[in-house]
Amino acid sequence: MSASTSSPLRLGIAGLGTVGAGVIKLLETNKDLITARAGRALQVVAVSARNRTQDRGVSLEGLRWYDNAIDLAADPEVDVVVELIGGAEGPARALVEAALAAGKAVVTANKALIALHGAALAQSSAANTAPLLYEAAVAGGIPAIKTVREGLAADRLLRIGGILNGTCNYILTVMRETGKDFATVLADAQKLGYAEADPSTDIDGWDAAHKLAILAGLAFGRPVAFESVHVEGIRHIGAADLDFARKLGYRIKLLGLARMGDAGLEARVTPCLVPEDAPIAQVDGVFNAVVAEGAFAGRLMIEGRGAGEGPTATAVTADLIDIARGNTIPVWGVQSATTEVLRACPLSAGKGAFYLRLRVEDRPGVIADITAVLRDCGVSLRSMLQPTPVRNETAPHVPLILVTHQTSEAAMQDAVARIDTLSVVADTPVVIRIETD
Amino acid sequence: MSASTSSPLRLGIAGLGTVGAGVIKLLETNKDLITARAGRALQVVAVSARNRTQDRGVSLEGLRWYDNAIDLAADPEVDVVVELIGGAEGPARALVEAALAAGKAVVTANKALIALHGAALAQSSAANTAPLLYEAAVAGGIPAIKTVREGLAADRLLRIGGILNGTCNYILTVMRETGKDFATVLADAQKLGYAEADPSTDIDGWDAAHKLAILAGLAFGRPVAFESVHVEGIRHIGAADLDFARKLGYRIKLLGLARMGDAGLEARVTPCLVPEDAPIAQVDGVFNAVVAEGAFAGRLMIEGRGAGEGPTATAVTADLIDIARGNTIPVWGVQSATTEVLRACPLSAGKGAFYLRLRVEDRPGVIADITAVLRDCGVSLRSMLQPTPVRNETAPHVPLILVTHQTSEAAMQDAVARIDTLSVVADTPVVIRIETD
């Protein structure tokens, strides 16, 4: 129990975008409640942003202004630096490094920074006895970091992951509900503000991969080498896949999943078919879900908002309250900071069951040719779906959907490569993993 | 960041039932991992239970044995007392009071104790600077306490609650899936060990009410007067209700819900109809779910195991790791302990929508008589369901299901009392709340 103290915790906030302004609003709106819970006042004393005159809907009166964020690290009246600039390099990284070196506590919402530089930052945090907290970096409105780092601290985690990107989940949900194709739904999502003008960080899986690497590092007690995480996005998912998945009793979700398998750490972000009655299949729209499974605790799923001003500001401020209370934890949840990162094993070392969508010539013998390749590669078929073809002289190919039993990833990659060379197969095969447990 | 220390945290465990033995197993199995996360070893040094010779599947060799649990509080070599005896009074209460008075940290899984005596215990905890942690008291495998007390510490909570009793959820799930009646499913659950020989603590709602009172106290920053919580169980729910609910697009769950309304705190445990596509409707079997809604963070749902050796032992040990790390929080989440409890307002002060199942005489004019009563009481009907009657000379009554719009609780109580007196109505009306948001 931290000793009650009357001196406020003094904050310097770098970055006054949606989240930065949100934190200032939240601290003002819930001032009494936050002071009661923190045991002392949380007071913003300094800020830094690019544009001094922009209207952000919050008053900056009486706050010291810095044009260069890094100057916050040198301000002797700032106890905690709140980094909300974003980006794995540049001013965000420089500020966090400088603040830790100066012995200041840091709170950040920067998932790329923690995913890419978390090993070195943990060292600096430990060496300077300067806490580094980052609850807002993973699924803003879901206290996922706290749950893994503290709630499940007694348990050996078997796996961690979930629906970690709201933009992808929104797009896949709307595609399923409307039957529209990816490009159309993406364009609509951009108009509605659910997707960025440059959407690639989200839809190519990078944002989810940053979050997964952080969760896996916490779950397994060591920072994960980000470049070893396998990353796929959702650009190749067609409206037809959502329709076929439904006919087979599945939904399609972009999942980040990490587990400690026989070959070591498996960590990947991929679209997956999940059974339509599984809890994670019910998590729709911009919502996120984090699933953790412990050897003793069993499975846990937390569902909530993953982004947005309110949820992210709540996560940042919860970290600030922990610091005010004197309750902080080493960056990767274990006392001894290590630079030895954990590398995920290659995807080909794993196993899985797969959905395979092909476009094939509509003539006798084709199915036999394809299933022979799978058999030769040691891939066992569980079911097949061939929609009644709409005969069309100008499009003589028809869809063929194959579902495999559990098989080795390497065998499946081999089989798909061979099938892709068959002359009866048009287009690149679409392969989607099936996650049933 | 707590200073690393090499001295172990010494534990005295009172109660060696399933959970107590589970904690010893967990500490042994995950010893290295727990030491790394806690920054020091967690070492059981003393135990107390009723029967010294019983085989519990764990070794008690080298541990001091106390016949009287309260002696653990006086052992100078015990740093933390772990109370796993259970019960709001008797040896459990005496031990926790004595340990706090002796300045020892206490970890307990005892929901009745915290729900009934949490105000006084919080005072003692603060006065003696002795932390009292109780994560295992609410939904073992779900870190609900930590989520509310810390993860959502920056937010003003609008409501808290969920599916807080696994036995009731299991019974309602099996009733829905099999069409069997309550008594049959309860008897089966007792044979399978999912319900106690004396099931009333679970099925009459008391267990859920203890958990709800604790969650509400944390959410609103003051202990809740337990006797002010409205408690209903599930004995009166018939197989017919589950069937009619399904026809209307709902499922039935026993929910504990607390919210801060216009009239003050609303806190009640009641069976509820929830829309069949709502996330909470998907939580089946022995699983629990905690829902929290914050003004900034939005809605959050955590689903996981609510009971059992592994989940509960994980929660107890997570509290022990927090103590070892030096990270503890005042009992009700705010620095100033208060004896001033929060009283829930009477149920009649609230509003709600309702499902009403009647058995009525199968003759013209009956429906008009009943709807006239509702109209006279100011209760507006949203829909009505009258299954095609199976005509039967010996049972001239047929079911009639009415669904109301949002109305005042007082008006509904008045209407039901009047309907109950009508000669055309057989049996006591079954009233179930509808929770749509």
* Mean pLDDT, rounded, of chain B: 94
Domain boundaries, chain A: 9-140+313-325, 144-305, 350-434
User: Nearest CA of chain A to the CA of B24: how many Å?
Assistant: 12
Question: Which chain B residues have a beta carbon less than 8 Å from that of A328?
Answer: 1, 327
Report how far Cα A198 is from the mean position of its chain's Cα atoms: 18
- Chain B residue whose CA is closest to A146: B151
User: Nearest CA of chain A to the CA of B380: how many Å?
Assistant: 33
**pLDDT attached to residue B389:** 64
Euclidean distance between CA atoms A311 and A166, whole angstroms? 13
Residue contact B322–A37, C-beta within 8 A:
no
Over residues B301-358, the pLDDT tens digits come to: 999 999 899 999 999 999 999 999 999 999 999 987 666 899 999 998 889 999 999 9
Q: What angle in degrees, to the nearest 10, is found between the helix axes of A18-29 and A31-38?
A: 80
**pLDDT attached to residue A336:** 73
Q: Specify the DSSP element, H or E, that contains A241.
A: helix A239-247
Do B67 and B92 contact (CB within 8 A), yes or no? no
- Chain A residue whose CA is closest to B149: A37
**Residues of A classed as catalytic:** 211
Assign a CATH topology to domain B9-141+313-325: Rossmann fold (3.40.50)
Residue contact B143–A151, C-beta within 8 A:
yes
Q: What percent of chain B has pLDDT over 70?
A: 97
**Rounded to the nearest 5 degrees, what angle is found at the Cα of B405, between the Cα atoms of B399 and B409?**
90
Task: Specify the CATH class of B150-305 in words.
Answer: alpha beta
Q: Among A156, A295, A314, whose Cβ lies nearest the Cβ of B152?
A: A314
Assign a CATH topology to domain A144-305: Dihydrodipicolinate Reductase; domain 2 (3.30.360)
User: Nearest-CA neighbor of B85 among B260, B424, B318, B316?
Assistant: B316
Question: Which chain B residues have a beta carbon less than 8 Å from that of A298?
Answer: 141, 304-305, 308, 310-311
**Rounded to the nearest 5 degrees, what angle is found at the Cα of B395, between the Cα atoms of B391 and B401?**
80
User: Nearest CA of chain B to the CA of A419: how many Å?
Assistant: 40
Interface test with B, best of A35, A314, A332 (most B CBs within 10 A): A314
pLDDT-derived band at B4, boundaries 50, 70, 90:
very low
pLDDT-derived band at B363, boundaries 50, 70, 90:
confident
Annotation-wise, does B38 bind a ligand?
A: no
Euclidean distance between CA atoms A267 and A226, whole angstroms? 10
Task: Report ipTM (2 d.p.).
Answer: 0.94
Q: Specify the DSSP element, H or E, that contains B402.
A: strand B397-404
Half-sphere CA count of A36, side-chain side, radius 13 A = 20
pLDDT-derived band at B392, boundaries 50, 70, 90:
low
Euclidean distance between CA atoms B302 and B283, whole angstroms? 10
Over residues B89-143, the pLDDT tens digits come to: 999 999 999 999 999 999 999 999 999 999 999 999 999 999 999 999 999 899 9
Task: Specify the CATH class of A350-434 in words.
Answer: alpha beta
Q: Among A131, A294, A311, whose Cβ lies nearest the Cβ of B297?
A: A311
Euclidean distance between CA atoms A236 and A214, whole angstroms? 26
In sequence order, the 6+-apart residues with CB closer than 8 A to the CB of A368 are none
- pLDDT mean values, one per 10 residues, chain A (437 residues): 69 97 98 96 97 90 96 98 97 98 98 97 96 96 96 97 98 97 96 93 98 97 96 96 96 97 93 95 96 97 94 98 96 81 92 96 90 96 83 75 96 96 93 93
User: Nearest-CA neighbor of B87 among B101, B105, B69, B63?
Assistant: B69
Residue contact A304–B303, C-beta within 8 A:
no
In sequence order, the 6+-apart residues with CB closer than 8 A to the CB of B208 are B164, B165, B168, B231, B254, B256, B269
Over residues B395-423, the pLDDT tens digits come to: 678 999 999 999 999 999 999 999 999 99
**pLDDT attached to residue A359:** 94
Q: Concatenate the DSSP letters of all residues of A188-236 into one string.
A: HHHHHTSS-SS-HHHHTSHHHHHHHHHHHHHHHTS-B-GGGSEE--STT
Pair of tokens at residue A410: 């390497």
Furthest CA-CA distance within chain B: 82
Residue contact A151–B129, C-beta within 8 A:
no
**Rounded to the nearest 5 degrees, what angle is found at the Cα of B137, between the Cα atoms of A304 and B116?**
115
Euclidean distance between CA atoms B393 and A300, whole angstroms? 53
Q: Concatenate the DSSP letters of all residues of B347-373 into one string.
A: GGGSEEEEEEEEEEESSTTHHHHHHHH
* One-letter amino acid for residue A23 of the chain: V
Name residue, tokens 């920072």: A223
Question: Which chain B residues have a beta carbon less than 8 Å from that of A277?
Answer: 282
Strand boundaries in B264-390, DSSP class E:
264-275, 287-294, 298-305, 351-361, 381-385
Residue contact A297–B282, C-beta within 8 A:
no
**pLDDT attached to residue A3:** 43
CA atoms A182, A187, A192, A198: torsion sign: positive
Residue contact A304–B320, C-beta within 8 A:
no
Structural Rg of chain B based on CA atoms: 24
Q: Among A155, A221, A314, whose Cβ lies nearest the Cβ of B155?
A: A314
Residue contact B334–A303, C-beta within 8 A:
no
**pLDDT attached to residue A1:** 41
Name residue, tokens 């090993």: A119
Over residues B156-201, the pLDDT tens digits come to: 999 999 999 999 999 999 999 999 999 999 999 999 989 999 999 9
Annotation-wise, does B381 bind a ligand?
A: no
**pLDDT attached to residue A337:** 62
Question: Which chain B residues have a beta carbon less than 8 Å from that of A126?
Answer: 1
Within 10 angstroms of residue B178's Cβ, the number of other Cβ atoms is 13
**pLDDT attached to residue B394:** 62
Euclidean distance between CA atoms B104 and A375, whole angstroms? 66
Assign a CATH topology to domain A9-140+313-325: Rossmann fold (3.40.50)
